[in-house]
Homo-oligomer: A and B are copies of this chain.
Amino acid sequence: MSTPPLRKDAARNRHRIVEIARRYVDDGRPLQLNDVARTASIGVATVYRHFSTPEALLEAVALPAIEKLVRRAEHALTEPDPWMALRDFLAAAIETLLTDPAVPPVFAAATDSLEHTGDLKRRLATAFTELLTRAHAAGVIDSSVTEADMTPLMCGIAYAANVHSALDPTERATHGLRYLNLLLTGLHRP
C-alpha cells in the first residue's frame, strides 16, 4: 500500500484521464474505459493500468469532493450546538451528493471494495459517528438511529431527488434539501 512516486509521464496521463472522465460523469455519459482512452488520445492499456475498472476511475473523479466533505465533517465537530452541527453537515452532504454525480455511487459501494477512497470514507464515518454520539448524548435525536443508518438514508434522499426530476441540478438540490428536512423533522427531539 506504499506509494512509489509516479513517473512524470505517468502522472501526466493519469491526470488527463481523470480530467476527461470528469467530463463524462458531468455529462451523464457512461464511463467506458475504452471510450475515455480514445477521447484522451491515450492507449487503452494505459487507462486500464491506472484504473482497472470504471468504478476505480469514478472513485478518482469523486475524490476531491469527498475530501472536501471529510474536512467539512471534521470542522463540524467544532460547532458547539450538537443539533446544528449535525444538521449543517447533513445538508452539506446532500448538496455534495446532488451536485457531483460521481459521489453517490462511491458512497453506495461497500467501503472495503474501494481502492482510493476507503480511508476517506472511514475518516468520514468516524467524524460522523462522533457527531451522532454528541447528538444522542444531548438527547436531540431519535435514539434508535445509528451511523449505519445514516449513509443509506442520505443516499436514499439523493436517489429520491434524482428520480423525481431529470431537471437541472439546482432544482434537484432544492428537492433533496426539502426531503432532508422532512427526515430531520422525523429525527429531531427538541
Whether A157 is near chain B, meaning CB under 8 Å from some CB there, is yes
Within 25-81 of A, Cβ neighbours of B (below 8 Å) are at none
Whether A24 is near chain B, meaning CB under 8 Å from some CB there, is no
Within 137-172 of A, Cβ neighbours of B (below 8 Å) are at 142, 144-145, 148-149, 151-153, 155-161, 163-164
Q: Closest CB of chain B to A49's CB: distance in Å?
A: 27
Are B164 and A149 interface neighbours, CB within 8 A? yes
CA–CA, A148 and B175, complex, Å: 11
Q: Closest CB of chain B to A40's CB: distance in Å?
A: 29
Contacts of A163 in B (CB 8 A): 108, 151-152, 155-156
Copy number in this complex? 2
Whether A187 is near chain B, meaning CB under 8 Å from some CB there, is yes
Within 170-190 of A, Cβ neighbours of B (below 8 Å) are at 175, 178-179, 181-187
Q: Closest CB of chain B to A186's CB: distance in Å?
A: 3
A145 interface neighbour in B149, B151, B160, B182, Cβ under 8 Å: B182
Are B164 and A159 interface neighbours, CB within 8 A? no
A179 interface neighbour in B153, B164, B184, Cβ under 8 Å: B153
CA–CA, A160 and B185, complex, Å: 18
Write 12 A-B pairs (CB below 8 A) sorted by A numbering: A142-B185, A149-B164, A151-B164, A152-B164, A153-B160, A153-B179, A155-B163, A156-B179, A182-B186, A185-B185, A185-B186, A185-B187
Seen from chain A, the residues whose Cβ lies within 8 Å of a Cβ on chain B are 108, 142, 144-145, 148-149, 151-153, 155-161, 163-164, 175, 178-179, 181-187
What 9 A-B pairs come out closest when comparing CB atoms?
A156-B160, A186-B186, A185-B186, A156-B156, A152-B164, A152-B160, A152-B163, A182-B186, A159-B159
